[in-house]
Chain A
Amino acid sequence: MSPRTPGADLPEHPDALWRNPEPKRSYDVVIVGGGGHGLATAHYLAKNHGITDVAVLEKGWLAGGNMARNTTIIRSNYLWDESSAIYEHALKLWEGLEEDLGYPILFSQRGVLNLAHTLQDVRDSVRRVEANKLNGVDAEWLEPDEVRKVCPIVNTSTEIRYPVLGATYQPRAGIAKHDYVAWGFARRADQAGIDLVQDCEVTGFTTDGDRVTGVQTTRGTIGAGTVALCAAGHTSVLTDMLGIRVPIQSHPLQALVSELLEPVHPTVVMSNAVHVYVSQAHKGELVMGAGVDSYNGYGQRGAFHVIERQMAAAVELFPVFARAHLLRTWAGIVDTSPDASPIVGRTAYDNLYLNCGWGTGGFKATPGIGWALAHTIAHGEPHPTVAPFGLDRFVTGALVDEHGAAAVAH
């Protein structure tokens, strides 16, 4: 037998992941949405607060939404204090997550380059690097020759249409394996006695005054002491049932993957002007995010011209990718808020909590938001890292405008 191809083999999943329990009649806490955020919240409710009479209700299969569709980039080099605080909180948790979950989540701190192609990109990049440093987030500004050292395959020629003028670099950033992360959280939550209930769509709520008393589902009505909505773009569908308007818009965002390739790409590269964000996953496939489709919708598919444009950008910045092959395309749904920051916290209902609007930041925030939302549920008050992200900011005007920092213009 020949030796195994390095990196082409992933660690095996455990023999037991979760039970498939029938839902009970009621729970102290019902989390609607069994994606990364819902599962992480369940885990930290049990771990940090000893709250285990919890159900996570998932209308499809666990972690089958954006958690299964993102490009797994993890970084905390956001511009504003509020954003870098929650993402850095998450990044610190990522750094200990494999141990916490007892699951090989393949967290690889291979660094992220955010390329600058225009003078304004350079200004914005320097601004973000300086802000990151003052906030204690690792960040560097790299000149083009330094970019080439970190990632030799980036085209740093001055002859291309939008030459690379430099890049920000966060060495602690990286990627992880999304399914492994989700299943790690799910397994821990299940082990703690939390019920993960799949094929269980929430169709309505029961309320009493300013309290939600339960959720109506395709598997019956389930009573709830507290309800947390972790349903990403579908959160507004749920809140519509309660007469709460949540200002999020949902768009398809496509991603794609190549065949397995020998290692060529050592880091993660993101560029807004020449729209690319790409890494080479552990097995060797190139994983790349495309642009957002401009129309709203929940269909997990996008238009093909977006993919074609993406390929043009990829080959422009990485000429060696020319004969890599597109193997599969798909789309997730980005739930975007007016200021491109998440919406987390309390609502008009005393015991109903929101968590949505993460746009392109949801995966990287997973442990951070799980921790913070669990805290918020346990204490009835927002955790400091999510306090700035309340729904009321759209009334007060205290926005956290991260349009510039999002990976994808939206």
Chain B
Amino acid sequence: MTSPFRTPEGGRIDRATTVEFTFDGETLTGHPGDTLASALLASGRHRVATSVRLGRPRGVAAAWAEDPGGLVQIEEPFPEPMLLATTVELHDGLAAHGLPGQGRLADVPDSARYDAVHHHVDVLVVGAGPAGLAAALTAARAGARVALVDEQSEAGGSLLSGTERLDDAPALQWVAAAVAELAGHPDVLHLQRTTAFGSYDDGFVLALERRTDHLGAAAPKHVSRQRVWRIRARSIVVATGAHERPVVFADNDRPGTMLAGAARTFLHRYGVLPGREAVVFTTNDSAYDAALDLSRAGVRVQAVVDARPEGSPRRGECEHAGLRVLSGAVVTGTRGTERVTHALVAPFADGQVGASTAIGCDLLLVSGGWNPAVHLFSQARGRLRYDEVLGAFLPGEELDGLAVAGSAAGVFDLAGCLADGQRVARAALSALAVPPAADDRLPAAPAPVVPAAPVVLWRVPDTSGAEGTTSFVDLQRDATVADIVRAVGAGLRSLEHVKRYTTIGTAHDQGKTSGVLTSGIVAELLGVPVQDTGTTTFRPPYTPVAFAALAGRDRGRLFDPERVTALHEWHVAAGAVFEDVGQWKRPRYYPQPGEDMAAAVLRECAAARTGVGILDGSTLGKIDVQGPDAAVLLDRLYTNLMSSLKVGSVRYGVMCGVDGMVIDDGTVLRLAEDRFLVLTTTGGAATVLDWMEEWVQTEWPDLRVHCTSVTEQWVTFPVVGPRSRDVVGSLFPDVDVSTEAFPFMTWRDTALEGVPVRLARISFSGELAYEVYVNPWYAVAVWERLLEAGRPHGITPYGTETMHVLRAEKGYPIIGQDTDGTVTPHDLGMAWAVSKKKPDFIGKRSFTRPANADPLRKQLVGLLPVDRQTVLPEGSQIVEFRADGELPPPPVPMLGHVTSSYRSAELARPFALALVKGGRERIGDTVHVPVGGTLVPVEVTGAVLVDPEGARRDG
């Protein structure tokens, strides 16, 4: 018999089915409906884990996420570090072991799927206990869109742990009816196994649904393992219940020590006796239920130890059942090794502890009161209020759109929770102007027994001689009362400091049981009200969430959208090697058999310089700027004048930030008096559109202008080289492609078999060139027609690398490569692109700063390695010429750096562009570039190395 502690009947487990699992290598059995913790307890195993610092045995001490003891590592079906045995649902084949403090990550990738869903509701109810169910029913009956989420495997909350009755029947019958009723409302989303873990501004709640783990091997492969629900609710009802709080005493970490309410849960929900002989230690009436229920189930309750001198009105009930009740007494410590064998019980009055007596037991139940689970309220910046009577922090204010109901708000009786759930839901509905349903009946609960006032007791004075070093406040961090005493003694007054000194509250459970205890103990030590000590900040997530669950589908290829042009398949078929440019995949070069990149690029460059080449330039950003003030806007954004541009013409322009540094460049086509097509760099497209929108929306809302991205509405094919006129002319015979009729920096509209085509005389290579613009639907057809027309001339597709070489030979900078946010148009030798006529434009003011006039500013120049061989690594630094060829010791003054560097087919040698201090003054000088331990001499030249007169652009 592997489950000697299983009750003969009862509980929410499926006794007809047995599942096998292993723990610490031992094969055990349990039932569907068990958690790993309940199955272990049923087998008689309390010790689960080993503590992180002190190596002490630790066991299951609670029944759900507040458990500080039962940390396990999952091994099968897939390794997962550090889960609580109390929250792992049992399934066949589960293998786990107890943790010695640190979890272990799998060394193989997680093949499970994760996803996320957005959901919008009127009312979100968190928690399907009595208050939450009442709230959800009220909202659903009124016709509101409702989401009800609950972290357990089934609805009921605290009702699953007890024997309460509603409408004169077991309360769980009402729960089942409520769930069925909610299922009948089409606008209700009800999710179990779903933990609301984060509460953010404006009614935004994150919840994690655990969808398949409990199914074990039967989990369908097509269903995501976990799902993040991103719920936006007009109103939120937090009905998350309360966590029972322990009392701290010496050796309170021994396995077999458990919260009293948890023992009831194990008994009623899982059909498990957590022990045979119990001592119950309490400061309040709630633990009497545990004592009586366990006694009825056959546990010998040796004593109910009540810290209150006057005890409880329920004393008689206990004594009637044959239980001994010791009022005005406390548990001062425990005995045992792997498990508690004795509780040490002593009289307690006026804070003084008397001599203790050992009472034999294998189960020590503790209740120090209840802490409302205010996490979501507090995450939403709700202020907490300390309640002196309950010894707990309660919501201390009303928040817009978020209300707390039931035990989470400090209501601890069943009838009160039901009524509170309904009240809060009605208030939410009222705020949404939704009238409640006429029939909104709550079940009849027995009249509550008014409990005697609890006593607030954080810790029992340590009479063991250990001076608090075994009185554990945070079991997961092995942090004790002695640690808190030391922290306060060291001069710490803030709870945040004490937390950091002791590490209390920083472990897996984030202080669910230890947080308020620490507030209380610190307040006691400092002699200040607990309200002043407060709590540390509640931060999301409420319970730990796997990284992969939050990553969702955004992994692998979907990590970031891959943007491809309409020609992508063609490029792939042509054997292109791709480069990531922003989100785009761009062909970098098209190697032919036997070619490396260098050979391919030399071939492609030569074709464009001597014959004709063609590029897929579709990724260039394109922004359609329209409106009566379009020209005004562009005049303000560009350093040069755009308003004087004639319709039908094209102008190159430079854009600067407010600091006068170049942020983007490109050409602008004037399509009409009130309409421009702005071309940006590929990587800058979104930034430039954002930039335009920011100015238009925040600074110049008076401008009548609209900016629209049309990057994906046009493909762009530059046809480049001396033969480009022949190619374009033959394909578009109705266009006079002569320079006289179609001059440089103009554009023309035409058509190809009825398909509109725009041609523009723009050149990024210095060669005669025509850019062909067409709707992407016709991209492949037009591209292939251009190739066909170019075949007699040896038309050669080229990639970004050749594009870069061609433009670099002409000294055309790539913004972001040859600039780095510290470069002005003047530094680039583009003073001509800075208008002297315009009254103002972005960046103008900065050009007058002293540093802009510094003759030692870095300027764009060309570099020619003297050995005619070395291709300087891009990014290399430049230093002064050294006659001895040796660098001085650091720091070595730097003149600038190599921004672009290539082999040139045209020049038959490598060359580079560089930003060099006072570069234009240095033309003709030799400087040095450290490359792999040697100094490479290079000659400084002008930036334009090919066709400086510009003779080629008209063919």
Contacts and interface: CB of A to CB of B under 8 A. Distances in A.
Interface of A: 1-5, 7-10, 13-20, 60-62, 64, 68, 81, 85, 117-120, 122-131, 133-136, 160-162, 179, 198, 258-262, 264, 274, 284, 300-301, 303-304, 307-309, 311-316, 319-330, 338-339, 393, 395-399, 401, 403-404
B200 interface: yes
Contacts of A120: 816-817
Nearest to A119: B579
Given A1-B54, A323-B81, A13 B510 contact: no
B877 to A, nearest CB: 4
Contacts, number: 265
Contacts of B877: 127, 130-131, 134
A207 B659 CA distance: 33
Given A123-B875, A130-B877, A135-B892, A5 B899 contact: no
A126 B875 contact: yes
A117 B581 CA distance: 10
A322 B103 contact: no
Contacts of B894: 81, 131, 134
B579 A304 contact: no
A304 B109 CA distance: 25
Given A259-B103, A262-B104, A126 B490 contact: no
The 4 closest A-B pairs by CB, nearest first: A136-B890, A126-B875, A397-B849, A397-B851
Contacts of B851: 393, 396-399
A140 B33 CA distance: 56
Task: Kindly name the residue among B487, B552, B877 whose own CB sees the greatest number of chain A CB atoms within 10 A.
Answer: B877
A126 B821 contact: no
Given A301-B539, A326-B550, 7 more contacts: A5-B53, A13-B501, A81-B891, A128-B875, A133-B890, A134-B890, A134-B891
B108 to A, nearest CB: 8
Given A15-B490, A134-B890, A259 B508 contact: yes
A118 B560 CA distance: 14
A127 B874 CA distance: 7
Nearest to B873: A126
B25 interface: no
Nearest to A308: B550
Contacts of B559: 160-162, 274, 312-313, 316
Task: Kindly name the residue among B53, B101, B560, B930 whose own CB sees the greatest number of chain A CB atoms within 10 A.
Answer: B101
B551 A315 contact: yes
A304 B206 contact: yes
Given A311-B551, A314-B551, A8 B52 contact: yes
Contacts of B206: 304
Contact of A179 (B54, B500, B874): B500
A95 B82 CA distance: 35
A5 B100 contact: yes
B102 A13 contact: no
A118 B800 CA distance: 14
Interface stretch (B122-130, B540-548, B600-608, B721-729): B540-548
Contact of B540 (A17, A62, A304, A314): A304
B555 A323 contact: no
Interface stretch (B185-193, B356-364, B491-499): B491-499
B820 interface: yes
B792 interface: no
Given A161-B556, A328-B510, A260 B876 contact: no
Contacts of A401: 661, 820-822
A81 B556 CA distance: 38
Interface of B: 50, 52-56, 78-82, 100-107, 109-110, 116, 198, 200, 204, 206, 228, 486-487, 489-494, 496-497, 500-501, 503, 506-508, 510, 537, 539-541, 544-548, 550-552, 554-557, 559-560, 562, 579-581, 659-661, 816-817, 820-822, 846, 849-852, 873-877, 879, 887, 889-892, 894, 897, 899, 930
19 contacts: A4-B54, A5-B53, A8-B53, A62-B497, A126-B876, A127-B877, A130-B876, A130-B877, A133-B930, A162-B560, A260-B507, A261-B103, A303-B200, A320-B107, A322-B548, A323-B106, A323-B110, A327-B541, A399-B659
A352 to B, nearest CB: 24
A120 B899 CA distance: 10
Nearest to A265: B105
A258 B874 CA distance: 39
A264 B81 CA distance: 13
Nearest to A309: B554
Contact of B659 (A2, A7, A68, A338): A338
Contacts of A5: 52-53, 100-102
Given A130-B875, A325-B545, A259 B81 contact: yes
B404 to A, nearest CB: 19
Given A13-B490, A68-B500, A134-B890, A8 B101 contact: yes
B52 A320 contact: no
B561 to A, nearest CB: 9
B490 A122 contact: no
Contact of A322 (B55, B106, B579): B106
Contacts of B539: 301, 328-330
Contacts of A398: 850-851
B633 to A, nearest CB: 23
Nearest to A16: B490
Contacts of B537: 300, 330
Given A5-B100, A320-B107, A396-B849, A19 B491 contact: yes
Given A284-B102, A327-B508, A401-B822, A124 B875 contact: yes
Contacts of A16: 489-491
A170 to B, nearest CB: 15
Given A126-B873, A134-B879, A160-B556, A324 B547 contact: yes
Contacts of A125: 875
